[in-house]
Amino acid sequence: MENEEGKQLTDADHVEGLLKSDGWKIIYEKLSQRILDLQNINNLDLTKPETLSIQLMARKMAVDEIWAWLRGDVTGFVEQQRANAAKMDEKIEQFIDRI
């Protein structure tokens, strides 16, 4: 269990380093632009109006999945691991205080 917790904290360190990097800022800007493009109705294919609802649903699903990934597996992962680390530190301090 301890090894798994330590690995997750190390993974969180790596992901946090990525989020703070200049490369991430560049990629995030490009990803955000792509998401905005998916949300823009001006670039829908209107040659086949019967596919309009399918296009809209597919775009919404894609945007929802991308945001869920960013919030859950990227920024959310780091936040969760930091919160877990803080709880562990608190438990260690409580244990030391009892000794």
Percent of residues in the chain assigned helix, strand, coil, to nearest 5: 90, 0, 10
Distance in Å from the first CA to the final CA of the chain: 24
Tens digits of residue pLDDT in 63-85 = 999 999 998 888 888 888 888 87
Handedness of CA 35, 41, 44, 48 (dihedral sign): positive
Tens digits of residue pLDDT in 7-53 = 766 888 899 999 999 999 999 999 999 999 999 999 999 999 999 99
Residue 8 pLDDT: 66
Mean pLDDT (the chain, rounded): 87
User: Is the pTM higher than 0.85?
Assistant: no
**Residue 7 CA, distance from chain mean position:** 19
Tell me the C-alpha distance between 87 and 94, whole Å.
10
